[in-house]
Structure 1
Amino acid sequence: MKWLVRCLAAAGLMSAAGVASAQSTVTLYGIVDGSILYTSHTMNMATGQNAGHQFSFTDSGMSGSNFGMRGAEDLGGGMRAVFALESGISIANGQFSNSNGNFFGRQAWVGMESPYGTVKAGLQYSPFFLSLYQTDPRGMSYFGSGLVSYVNNVYVTGLFNSNAITYTSPEIAGIQAMGMFAMGGAAGNFQAGRQYSASLRYHIAGFTLTGALYSGNAGGSATSTPVPSTVEFVGRTIGASYRFPNSLTISASYALYKVAQSFDNSVYSGGLSYMITPYLDVDAGVWYTRDGNDGSNHSLLASTGVQFYLSKRTTLYGQFGYVNNHGRMDTGLSINNALFEVSGSTVGASIGIRHLF
């Protein structure tokens, strides 16, 4: 009898260990980023006029402060169940920020990975935005980068997509495709809030070539998000980058933001980044924006930055930017505190610290 009890107990422990090994792994992660921002001019949002220079503490000088959870469960046969929940925060005041304004307003999706590709359902990034990100010379910094131009044009539409289903193919011979369809969620009106996007990427050695499109309608259930995420626009982009063996990367891209009943902005960009040492990285970029409906509306944004890595997780950084607006163009320098700027020339700088966890 004692022998039988011991065998049953051992079998129970082995079974429990097997169940435990099949449970999901969950990781808590995030970014905390704060900086001091200076700009020589500041737009008064009520009048559109210059309100003078500013010197302020700014949340997310380089990367959006956020925290989140991601997890995965190995289902066998090369298949995994995956999920992510990510919330944007402001370390300036503790409120929601750097998102669509909701609690998990950056990412909230569940999906399945397999040798045949990955399917995700929920709030997530569009293939259009991810394609732009891959060839931005400053890694979509919150100061002086293609991200400022993106949000200045269409806010977070196409960046944080509600009700979205995406499929990402495996990479075959260096080619990878991604598609997204987001349902508007409005009863009786299938077109309201409907969004779709697709991208194609070719990658070989240090060379990357990307292209993507986006089309989104106004309306739908996503209109309830505090930050506008259903601006009606058509987007197109093509870009390329090359990473040399000496850690120098050069990139160039073209993006079109055609907003319904408004502007038709083309953005041409180029730049480079160079890892001087394992602890020191510098980058620079230029973005020229022109309104296809009125050539007198155009802007030039140029910026550079340096990052000093105190560790793998903690970075000190400094950034400097210049923007010149003509006509009705209002390109800014920073996502937070300087998204829009007045006509003429404005210079700005940002110094800060970022920590990853």
Structure 2
Amino acid sequence: MLGLAGACALSAAPSAHAQSSVTLYGVVDGSLLYTNKTLNRKTGQSAGYQYSFTDGGLAGSRFGMRGAEDLGGGMRAIFDLESGVNIANGAFGNSNGGEFGRQAWVGVDSRYGTVKAGLQFSPFFVAVYDVDPREMSYFGSGLVTYLNNVYVTGMFNPNGISYMSPEIAGLQANAMMALGGAAGNFQAGRQYSASLRYHLGSLAVDAALYSGNAGGSAASIAIPSVVEFDGRAIGASYVFNDLTVKASYVQYKVAGSFNDRVYSGGASYRITPALNVDAGVWVTRDENHSSNNSILASTGLEYSLSKATLVYGQAGFVTNHGAMHTGLSVNNALNEATGTTAGVNVGIRHMF
């Protein structure tokens, strides 16, 4: 009986594998970073210049597994497990500090849309990403202003359940509810987000919102994602052959604290199939205290050595006034001193 069961299992295996797939993927990115100032957190002033090796100069290093199984009738079971890693020391990084702290979800995809359950990016974050002129580079981009305002809240959402519709007449909706996980208090740690995208030819317009409460089970994660804030975003992009232009407005209203509004604009241009240049500006103003403001500007040049590997150089500056401490780099320079700070980084990124 055991032999017969084993034979049946082996004979069924090729059929099962033919219906499903699992892909290992990742990014390995390292760079050298220089800034002429660093932040002294006690005084808000400069503690001097820095030279450092930085993980994630262009994109955070990571690896993951994604898979799909054909369920028939145009329906698929899907999943994604993604871990962030710091290649400077081999520790977890670019995540919420968990083993799979970037994404860990399972779902179903069909012609009626996609449902996902688990740790995932919010529609608000995805919309902000889509309209960022430098595609959320780890140096000098909207990712720096995002993390500077609310850290990883809205990026890595635990306990999330989401639905993304198919595109109908150019419109696509995305909604997510993340449960707080606190017994007896539904509002503790509760997060919700929604976005609407309109796509017509070369034009794309994104609008999104986010609302999150403090507390809940996410507060016990290594890097908590429970900053209590309301977010609003609207932006657009337009493609002119090899030139892409983007502009956006994003609001981060943090409970009991600041009400930052970030205005951004910029463009990228593909000079050759292997060479791309981009630039952007981000202006942040605290509506609660007008003396708190910053201007971040940066540019980058990327050269593809192959389909999987590229080298890059980036340069930028940030000017901070009042209590604003916008930085230049997600890793090693997320916050910067009062006044003007300039920096550059050069690195290499490999994708697999």
Please state which band the TM-score falls in when normalised by the shorter chain.
Answer: over 0.9
SS in 2 for 1:142: coil
Does 2:28 match 1:32? yes
AA aligned opposite 1:344: G
User: Aligned partner of 2:340: which letter?
Assistant: S
Please report the RMSD computed on the Cα atoms of aligned residues, expressed in angstroms: 1.3
Q: Report the CA distance between 1:19 and its aligned residue.
A: 3.3
Equivalent position of 1:106 in the other structure: 102
Structure 2 Cα separation of the partners of residues 19 and 201 of structure 1: 37
Report 1:123-202 matches (<5 A): 123-202=119-198
State the partner residue of 1:6. none
Give per-residue Cα distances to partners, 1:184-229, cap 9 Å, x unaligned: 0000110000000000000111100000000000000001112231
Taking structure 1 as the reference length, the TM-score comes to 0.95
Gaps of 5+ in 1: 1-10
Q: Provide the identity percentage.
A: 67
1:1-357 equivalence runs, <5 A: 17-22=14-19, 24-245=20-241, 247-357=242-352
Measured after TM superposition, the shift of residue 285 of structure 1 is 0.1
Aligned counterparts of 2:13 and 2:102: Cα–Cα separation in 1: 36
Cα deviation for residue 16 of structure 1 reads 5.2
Q: CA deviation at 1:60?
A: 0.5
Aligned partner of residue 48 in structure 1, secondary structure: coil
Aligned residues: 345
Specify whether residues 13 and 109 from structure 1 end up closer, same or farther in structure 2 by C-alpha distance, changes over 3 A only: closer
Question: What secondary structure sits across from 1:333 in the alignment?
Answer: strand
Instruction: Answer whether contact 1:155 1:227 (CA < 8 A) is retained.
Output: no
Provide closer, same or farther for how the CA distance between residues 12 and 100 of structure 1 changes in structure 2, counting only shifts above 3 A: closer
Which amino acid in the other structure matches residue 240 of structure 2?
A: F
Inter-CA distance 186–354: structure 2 relative to 1 (3 Å threshold): same
- Corresponding residue for 1:3? none
Asked whether the 8 Å contact 1:322–1:346 carries over to 2, the reply is yes
Deviation at 1:14, TM superposition (A): 7.8
User: In structure 2, what residue type is equivalent to 1:349?
Assistant: V
Q: Distance in 1 between matches of 2:333 and 2:224?
A: 18
Tell me the SS of whatever aligns to 1:269: strand
Gaps of 5+ in 2: 1-7
How far does residue 18 in structure 1 lie from its aligned partner after superposition? 2.9
- Distance in 2, matches of 1:243 and 1:30, equals 28
| TM-score computed with the length of structure 2 as normaliser | 0.96
Amino acid at match of 1:113: D
